[in-house]
Amino acid sequence: MLDATERLIYAGGIHATGMEAIVKASGVARKTLYRLYPTKDALVEAALLRRDERWMAWFEAATSQSDDPVARLLSCFDALQSWFADRRFHGCAFLNAAGETGDPNHVIRMAARAHKQRLHAYLHGLVVATGRPEPDALAQQVLVLIDGAIAVALVFGGTESATTAQQAARTLLG
């Protein structure tokens, strides 16, 4: 059920995905779905929280191959380039979801924020390992480069934005 929800909302958006489509795609009875998740927002939140776990595990594995801290930080953009090349790429599920909710305190927006905070914390650890000064600011800058590359890849297609962002990160690192 969460797989179907995640797949459908990632491909088509939260508002464009009805509960009937989720019921049909998941094969779960409507009554069971509503017993487990009384609202669509609760279901979407659960799907996003699970996606966060899976995406971060993938990202951390993809960026921990090198013993060199700078190479690990720069490998964030190699991971993005690989992701952008996947035909199923539809941008950042968390930014997409946040863009569909107007209330900053909405559970879906809060799930998106939690993901970005987790990603920032991970990037902060990578930056600290490089020994560069002002790791908080540098981690935030790398996060902005990552999200910018994702947005450009979504709008224009291709993988070049990952390379461009990686070059900018090299400049930031000195």
State pTM to two decimals.
Answer: 0.94
Domains of the chain in start order, with CATH, are 40-173 (1.10.357.10)
Q: Which residues of 153-169 are buried (b: 16+ CB within 10 A; e: fewer)?
A: bbeeeebebbeebbebb
Mean pLDDT of the chain: 97
pLDDT in tens, 6-57: 999 999 999 999 999 999 999 999 999 999 999 999 999 999 999 999 999 9
* Per-residue pLDDT at 80: 99
* Per-residue pLDDT at 139: 98
pLDDT in tens, 138-157: 999 999 999 999 999 999 99
Report, as an integer, the average pLDDT of 72-96.
Answer: 98
Output the 3-class SS for the chain: CHHHHHHHHHHHCCCCCCHHHHHHHHCCCHHHHHHHCCCHHHHHHHHHHHHHHHHHHHHHHHCCCCCCHHHHHHHHHHHHHHHHCCCCCCCCHHHHHHHCCCCCCCHHHHHHHHHHHHHHHHHHHHHHHHCCCCHHHHHHHHHHHHHHHHHHHHHHCCCHHHHHHHHHHHHHHC
